[in-house]
Amino acid sequence: MKPILEIKKLYKTYHTKKCEIEALKNINFEVYEGDFIGIVGPSGCGKSTLLSIIGNLESITKGTVKKDKNLKIGYMLQDDCLFPWLTIYENCLLGLKINKICNKENIDNVKKLLSTYGLKDFMNNYPNDLSGGMRQRAALIRTLAIKPDILLLDEPFSALDYYTRLSVSNDVLDIIRKEKKTLIIVTHDISEAISMCKKIIVLSKRPSTIKNIYNINYKEDRENPIKNRSSREFMNYYEKIWEDLTNEK
Amino acid sequence: MKSEEYKKYLKRIKRDNLLVLFTQILIIVIFFVVWQILADKKIINTFLVSSPSKVLDTIVDLMKQNNLWKHIFATLYEIVISFILGNVIGIVFASILWFSKFLSRVFEPFLTILNSLPKVALGPLIIVWAGANTKSIIIMALLISAIISVINIHNAFKVTDPNKIKIVRTMGGSKLQVFTKVVIPSNILPIIESFKINVSMCFVGVIMGELLVSKEGIGYLIMYGSQVFNMNLVITGVILLVILTIILYYVVYYIEKISKR
């Protein structure tokens, strides 16, 4: 199988007036269709930078990011970033309008997504009327509206309280799986990554290099991140990754 | 179905509001009544401070001479024109500065200095350049209102939520799309806020201009009155200004209310 995204010898350096910051150093990995990849690492290590580079928001200092020209990317941020002056429905159409692909097929797709994921009755409400979890779901539908091949999630749940966070991550993962998308998620929460992802990339402190890549396998075929948390494998991975992160040299 | 407590609560709020309004009106009435009584009893010198009845007489006189509305409309016209132009200039320049970081860095210190400069000092210059007419009054008002609105609107644009901008960029949005889809809609309230400030700034500018040059308008009435030592006319002018301010304030207030919906 050919990877849909290939990162080779990637370096990223920031320049400020005072100094030069080496954020990423020699990053290499591949992403295949249907992958669920989690990127974890100490705070400020350049996780989000890596995501921004993949999402074409930042330039590369050295190296290559090889991807298909038509690869469509969907992005979700920590804050749901729904526009309070637009209704949920209008918010979900944002990407279509920006890309000028607001045709009937795409609009129907958005409507379908809204009704499948329980937001049909709130279509004409404004974001402020919705709960945190619903808003996050709406943000995901907005991202899915442009039919992306790969989803980039940058700490998407960290603004939510613990309970909402668990149930929303469950929801979101379910949707992404049903829509058969590829996922890269950046998080500082190791347990979130282990419970959700099939592959975890552990980054070191700045300048970040890849410390380890784990393929996450559960004995039982578990798709529910909350259930995954109670398995023995979960604890094993947790200990290993924790050690990676704490034994910085 | 509203509970009894809730009804009581609503009633209390309504009563409180009415009480505030009533007290406000009372203060105004007392002010005028006391003023009139003091004038009638000759405790104050009506030649210097006039009296409500004399103000009323002056207004009636002005109306008889077909002058009242002429002066009010002259001032109103100047205010409206400079208000519209000031806002247009404010929004256009703030947008240009938002689009170009370079221009914004170049012009920021100039704007700050121009803003702190007392514009009345430029009055004589403007009169020489533009002539002693309505044009220089409007330029005067624009100098005062436009600069502050460029600064205010640009400052609001600058602090637009970067995450919302990022979302549009991740969707492949251009800078123009970021501007129309995020920057403008998320700054509607600051823009209206700047309209509000602009009303008073235009007022100051127009009256200042009228005091300096005009042949008509409320500022002219005040200036003329003071020159011929007709304090009735001066105070009438001031009271007309107060009424005009109240009206304009409510116009903007309702625009704000509608836009918040």
Sign of torsion over alpha carbons B176, B182, B185, B188? negative
pLDDT mean over A16-31 = 87
C-beta atoms of B186 and A95 within 8 A? no
* pLDDT tens profile A155-184: 888 777 788 788 878 878 888 888 888 889
The answer to whether residue A23 scores a pLDDT higher than 90 is no
Q: Which of B191, B241, B182 is nearest to B88 (CA)?
A: B191
| Type and span of the H or E element at B218 | helix B218-227
Residue A248 pLDDT: 63
Residue B119 pLDDT: 86
Residue B9 pLDDT: 92
Residue A66 pLDDT: 87
Cα–Cα distance between A171 and B22 in angstroms, integer? Answer: 56
Residue A159 pLDDT: 73
Residue A222 pLDDT: 64
Pairing between β-strand A199-203 and β-strand A73-76 as defined by DSSP bridges? unpaired
As for the ipTM of the complex, it is: 0.83
A interface test, pick of B171, B186, B191 with most A CB neighbours within 10 Å: B171
Contacts of A146 in chain B (CB under 8 A): 171
A 185-244 → B contacts, CB under 8 A: none
List per-block mean pLDDT (blocks of 10 residues) for chain B, which spans 261 residues. 85 94 96 94 89 92 90 92 94 96 94 90 88 90 92 94 91 92 92 89 90 88 92 93 88 82 67
Residue B106 pLDDT: 96
Contacts of A74 in chain B (CB under 8 A): 170
Whether chain A has a CB inside 8 Å of the CB on B189: the answer is no
pLDDT mean over A57-69 = 85
Look up the CATH number of domain B56-260. 1.10.3720.10
pLDDT mean over A108-112 = 90
Residue B110 pLDDT: 94
**Residue A58: pLDDT band by 50, 70, 90 thresholds?**
confident
* Contact indicator for A122, A130 with CB cutoff of 8 Å: yes
Residue ranges per domain, chain B? 4-44, 56-260
C-beta atoms of A77 and B177 within 8 A? no
Cα–Cα distance between A191 and B92 in angstroms, integer? Answer: 50
Residue A221 pLDDT: 63
Contacts of B168 in chain A (CB under 8 A): 94, 98
Strand order in the sheet with A5-15: A20-31, A5-15, A62-67
Residue A161 pLDDT: 79
